[in-house]
């Protein structure tokens, strides 16, 4: 089986300067067909158009709220109905963050952070993993965060760090459970990457301080993360599972 006969589903890949869109491009360049699911339908379609312009891959862009099971089912049904090749990779990239201090965070905000980062990943993974296991091949990658490993300290608060740490346990337990079916499950833990996830709320002195703590002396580029995700999705990466890969410029070392 070649990746050109398979589809990689990337959630949250609409965002123009985001990790997901860069990952969709990198996967397409590696031969994958790509399905982009994003809350923002127009950006998902734009990303798909962008990917198909720049590669020979087929690309689909669909509006989808990963927190909503019906929305996820509908998006996957549209893909199946358009004759999309089987799903061989899933990149659980859709995510939201929040810097709200724990002593101020509401239950609603806590739930929302978990809904997108954890329940959203469940909603997709639960639906695509059975087909992968049946076909004997699959690659699942979670976009966790250095915040999960070092207890915040970048931008995201306790809710974000807890949700990103939940993804690590999710990935490892699933890797153990479905490893024998040819499906690998890994996490990537980026440090400070230059995207729009902070909504412009991380600038100036605070950002300079953070960069001063990064041994390579800069924020990460989306391509730094996209390349790593694409590597984990290769057919040849089948012996890598249950792993967490740092891509943080040395800002956190184990």
Report the interface residues with ligand NAD, using CB under 6 A. Answer: 11-12, 14-15, 18-20, 38-40, 64-67, 93-97, 116, 120, 143, 145, 190, 192-193, 195-197
Query: Is 160 tagged catalytic?
Result: yes
Task: Using the minimum distance from each CB to ligand NAD, give the nearer residue, 32 or 155.
Answer: 155
Q: Hey, is 18 helix, strand or coil?
A: coil
Determine the Cα–Cα distance for residues 252 and 243; give it in Å rounded to an integer.
16
Task: Using the minimum distance from each CB to ligand NAD, give the nearer residue, 145 or 186.
Answer: 145
Task: Using the minimum distance from each CB to ligand NAD, give the nearer residue, 89 or 193.
Answer: 193
Catalytic residue, candidates 122, 160, 231, 245 = 160
Provide the residue count of the chain.
Answer: 254
CB of 212 to ligand NAD, least distance (A): 16
The residue with its CB nearest to ligand NAD is: 95
CB of 37 to ligand NAD, least distance (A): 6
Query: What one-character-per-residue DSSP string does 146-213 give?
Result: HHHHHTS-SS--HHHHHHHHHHHHHHHHHHHHHGGGTEEEEEEEE-SB-SSTTTT-S-HHHHHHHHHT
CB of 187 to ligand NAD, least distance (A): 10
Residues sharing a CB contact under 8 Å with residue 223, sequence separation 6 or more, in sequence order: 22, 26
The catalytic site residues sit at: 160
């Amino acid at each position: 089986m070649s990746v050109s006969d398979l589809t990689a589903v990337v959630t949250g890949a609409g965002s123009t300067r985001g990790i997901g869109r860069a990952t969709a491009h990198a996967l397409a360049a590696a031969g994958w067909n790509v399905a982009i699911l994003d809350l923002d339908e127009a950006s998902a379609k734009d990303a798909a158009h962008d990917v198909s312009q720049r590669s020979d891959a087929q690309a689909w862009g669909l509006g989808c709220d990963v927190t909503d099971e019906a929305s996820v089912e509908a998006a996957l049904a549209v893909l199946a109905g358009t004759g999309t090749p089987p799903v061989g990779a899933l990149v659980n990239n859709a995510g939201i963050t929040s810097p709200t201090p724990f002593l101020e965070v509401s239950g609603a905000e806590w739930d929302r952070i978990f809904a997108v980062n954890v329940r959203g990943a469940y909603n997709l993974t639960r639906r695509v993993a059975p087909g992968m296991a049946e076909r004997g091949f699959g690659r699942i990658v979670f976009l966790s965060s250095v915040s999960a490993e070092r207890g915040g300290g970048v931008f995201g608060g306790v809710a974000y760090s807890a949700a990103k740490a939940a993804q690590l346990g999710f990935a490892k337990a699933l890797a153990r459970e479905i490893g024998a079916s040819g499906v690998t499950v890994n996490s990537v833990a980026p440090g400070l990457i230059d995207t729009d996830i902070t909504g412009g709320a991380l600038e100036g002195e605070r950002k300079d301080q953070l960069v001063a703590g990064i041994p390579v002396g800069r924020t990460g580029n989306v391509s730094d993360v996209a390349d790593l995700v694409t590597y984990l999705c290769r057919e040849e990466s089948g012996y890598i599972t249950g792993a967490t890969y740092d891509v943080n410029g040395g800002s956190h070392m184990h």
